[in-house]
Amino acid sequence: MNNHQNAIFHQITNFLKTPLALLGVDLKNFQFNKICHFANHPYLCKGLRMNKIFLALLLIITLNTNAVELKKYTGLIKKPTISLPDLNGKIHTLSQYKGNIVLVQFWATYCPPCIKEMPSMNSLQSKLKKADIPFKILAINMAESKAEVEKFVKIVNPEFTILMNEDGSSIQQWQVFAAPSNFLINKQGEIIYTLFGGVEWNSKEIIKKITQLSKF
Amino acid sequence: MLITIKKIIFIGFFILSTPSIAQKITTIKMPSGEDIELRIFPAKGNVLLLGFPCDFGKSKNEESVAKSLSEDGLEVWMPDILSTYMLPKVRSSYAKIKNEDLVRIVQKAIKTGKDIYLIASGAGTQLALRAAAKWHEKYQNSDGLKGLILLFPRLNSAEPIPGVKPKYVSAVGTTKKPIMILEGGRTPNKWGLKHLSMKLSAGGSKVISKVIPDIRGYFFKRKDPNRTEDMVTSELSGLIKVSLFYLQKGILE
């Protein structure tokens, strides 16, 4: 395909996008093929059909890869600390949870995956409690105000402990640069696994790994 | 009846289409053989902002900001890079843009005799960094390129790993030109700003970063902007002018 054809293709798509949207024409059912034919670029039409197939395949692949896995922790700080207040002002330290498997999560109200996964965190905690596995969740908010977090909590209803870190000190100590960032800590207070991104926490794989961790 | 509807739709296309509001559209012949389309918002001032990678229709608000800047005397050039190569606007596309082509675009701007500042946002910032480094390699004695403005740079080379400092694309730390970074206050990326600034300055750049409170990353491209984001979007040209002020005055400490 030469550069002239590239330019035509570019102009056609841009030319159509806005007016079609403004006219309320269904973009999905609109006959791009005819326009491509009109422009005497049949292989561009083929390209468009191929793009649809490619996008569908990509979606399937993406959905499969969304089954994010816990990964072995590779950071330098093996036994980090926490000393943060919950929404009632009560201070929580990591050492007071010794003997439990602890999921430490760094999250923010503006982070869509954080919001989406919280119900599955409730479910995980409840399932492990029923299985008599000592497990706690400490969800550390990433330096937002108490008012913002309280408003969020009323909507999402987390059944685990929310900790506040308004000055961001723990975010820096734990080397967190993205949300949600998750750390799975063993009964001795050492980070064993990490996980970045939203996930269904009550999945069989995750429950299996936590159950295995609880045996040591 | 059907013909009438078709006619109305056809006329509607022409009436309702939104052509570029750039005052001048030209092309630059690239060493790779491609012709890159360049939208120009001319101005009489001595400063020229060169955007990367731009691409008409793929970014919200970019043309209105460019128009506003040109009205204030700052010339803006917007080369439509990705569409020239038929590349989608995804991270992996940026690696496919040839260095020689980037250098040619910068050099074309340098030839205007104006002070050139490169500007880019998100993952596109790697193109601006690469363009600056490669241009400097080739034209070591030229002084036309004055600095870079990086809006919400997303320069990680891989998915973040909790507890581990991020790794960046190879373009980070390759330019000596002064860099101004703007980041949103409501994005986790602000926690990596210090580390990113340090890595960017490894090439010799003076780097300053500013966090804009109460806004998310890419706020000016969002479909669901909040009130602050709306306000900051309307003031984006002002933020760019402030960034230029920092770069021009060398207030980088």
The pLDDT of residue A19 is above 70:
no
Q: What are A216's two structure tokens?
A: 């040591």
Which chain A residues contact residue B165 at CB under 8 A? 175, 177
Closest CB to B160 among A13, A16, A177: A177
CB count within 10 Å of CB A214 equals: 17
Where is pLDDT greater, at A30 or A205?
A205
Q: What are A172's two structure tokens?
A: 């820096």
- CATH code 3.40.30.10 region(s) in chain A: 71-214
- The answer to whether B180 touches B148, Cβ cutoff 8 Å, is yes
Do B57 and A25 make contact, defined as CB atoms within 8 angstroms? no
CATH number at residue B53: 3.40.50.1820
Do B188 and A197 make contact, defined as CB atoms within 8 angstroms? no
Regarding beta strands B35-41 and B115-121, do their DSSP bridges make them parallel or antiparallel, or are they unpaired? unpaired
Does residue B5 lie in a domain region? Answer: no
Query: Given CB atoms, is B160 within the 8 Å cutoff of chain A?
Result: yes
Does residue B32 lie in a domain region? Answer: yes
Do B162 and A174 make contact, defined as CB atoms within 8 angstroms? yes
Does residue B55 lie in a domain region? Answer: yes
In chain A, the residue whose alpha carbon lies closest to the alpha carbon of B158 is A196
Q: How far is B99 from chain A (nearest CA, A)?
A: 19
E strand spans, A55-130: 71-72, 83-85, 91-93, 101-107
Q: How far is Cα A70 from Cα B202, in angstroms, rounded to an integer?
A: 33
- The answer to whether A125 touches A202, Cβ cutoff 8 Å, is no
Interface TM-score (ipTM) > 0.90: no
Q: Which ranges in A42-178 belong to alpha helices (H)?
A: 42-65, 112-130, 146-156, 169-173
Does residue B210 lie in a domain region? Answer: yes
The pLDDT of residue A47 is above 50:
no
Which homologous superfamily does the CATH classification assign to the domain defined by A71-214?
Glutaredoxin (3.40.30.10)
Do A77 and B164 make contact, defined as CB atoms within 8 angstroms? no
- The answer to whether B145 touches B119, Cβ cutoff 8 Å, is no
Q: B170-224 pLDDT, tens per residue?
A: 999 999 999 999 999 888 899 999 999 999 999 999 999 999 888 887 677 677 7
For B130, the 3-state DSSP assignment is helix
- The answer to whether A146 touches A134, Cβ cutoff 8 Å, is no
Cis peptide before A42 (omega within 30 of 0): no
The pLDDT of residue A22 is above 90:
no
Within 145-204 of A, beta carbons closer than 8 Å to B belong to 168, 171-172, 174-179, 181-183, 191, 194-197
Does residue B12 lie in a domain region? Answer: no
The H or E element that residue A193 is part of is strand A191-196
SS3 content of chain B, % helix, strand, coil (to 5): 40, 20, 40
Q: What are B84's two structure tokens?
A: 């020239």
Looking up tokens 């750049």, which residue turns up? B205
Which chain A residues contact residue B195 at CB under 8 A? 177
Give the count of domains, chain B. Answer: 1
Does residue B3 lie in a domain region? Answer: no
Full residue range of the structural domain in which residue B137 is found = 23-249
Does residue B92 lie in a domain region? Answer: yes
Closest listed residue to residue B50, CA positions, set B233, B177, B230: B177
Looking up tokens 């991270």, which residue turns up? B91
Q: How far is Cα B3 from Cα A209, in angstroms, rounded to an integer?
A: 65
Compute the Cα dihedral for B108, B111, B112, B116 and give only its sign.
positive
For the ranges B52-61, B76-85, B139-148, B216-225, the lowest mean pLDDT is seen at B52-61
Looking up tokens 């998915």, which residue turns up? B159
Q: B72-81 pLDDT, tens per residue?
A: 999 999 999 8
B176 backbone dihedrals φ, ψ, rounded to 5°? -100, -5
